[in-house]
Amino acid sequence: MSNSTAYLVQFDAYQVRLTQLVDGIEHVYKFWALPQTFTAPAGNPANTYNILLRDATAGAFDAIVEAFLDNIVSRFTDESSFVTAELWKTEADSQDFQFLTAFQPTTQPIIAESYGPATQTVYTARTLGGNIFRVNVLEGRSAAFGRANWVANPAGTSEEVLADYLCEDNASPFVDRQGTFPFAPLRRNYGQNEVIFRKRFR
């Protein structure tokens, strides 16, 4: 579950890292976010680091993580759990990260299904900066293999609700490496993750 963090970020950024445990294997998902301020609050509690949202208001790190999980947790089964949420910061064009704070999310998958071993669902969206924003759901609920259109609908399926939250909701928190928000959902592609396949079956 990660937008592209393989390239240097082009602004002073927060990076949200979510660690998930699925049947003995950890997956770490990383997302860029806009800090309201780069000044560390006293004591570093998770509810005192604020992230800028799409509508230019700010939300506390822990509340934003719980809201995101609330919108995506239905894509997972109860055989997985989110064990930690961490907040890191980095400066523009830097490869150095500084740890800020962490907590254990309370929002967890509850759907009683078997997960899809070594699978991934990749959701893509266009950002205002012209980049592609990606969310990779690893070893979540099984689906039909192949590609399909991904559309936003706040009253639709769980996938459509996720698209609405990330691409249209004023409370959307995550951005691309240029600091711009996703606005147009594109595709959903369900298939196999070769790296996880080798961990599971070889």
Q: What pLDDT tens digit does each residue of the chain (202 aa) get? A: 555 555 789 999 999 999 999 999 999 999 999 998 766 666 668 888 999 999 999 999 999 999 999 999 999 999 999 999 999 999 999 899 999 999 999 999 999 999 999 999 999 999 999 999 999 999 999 887 899 999 999 999 999 999 999 999 999 999 999 999 999 999 999 999 999 999 999 8
CA distances from 65 to 18, 25, 161, 176 (A): 9, 21, 16, 17
Are the C-beta atoms of residues 69 and 106 closer than 8 Å to each other? Answer: no
pLDDT of residue 39: 65
Domain span at 150: 13-201
Identify whether 7 is part of a domain. Answer: no
The residues, any chain, with a CB within 8 Å of residue 43's CB and separated by 6 or more, are none
Q: What are 156's two structure tokens? A: 């639709």
Kind plus residue range of the DSSP H or E element containing 200: helix 194-201
Q: Report yes or no on 162 lying in a domain.
A: yes
pLDDT of residue 36: 87
> What is the model's pLDDT at position 37?
74
Q: Residue 7 burial (CB < 10 Å; 0-12/13-18/19+)?
A: exposed
Domain assignment of residue 69, yes or no: yes
Q: Determine, yes or no, domain membership for 1.
A: no
Please give the single-letter amino acid code of residue 139.
E
Instruction: Rounding to the nearest 10 degrees, give the CA dihedral for residues 154, 160, 163, 168.
Output: -30
Please state the domain count of the chain: 1
Is the residue at 50 inside a domain? yes
Residue 23 located in a structural domain: yes
Whether 76 is in a domain gets the answer yes
Establish if 4 belongs to a structural domain. Answer: no
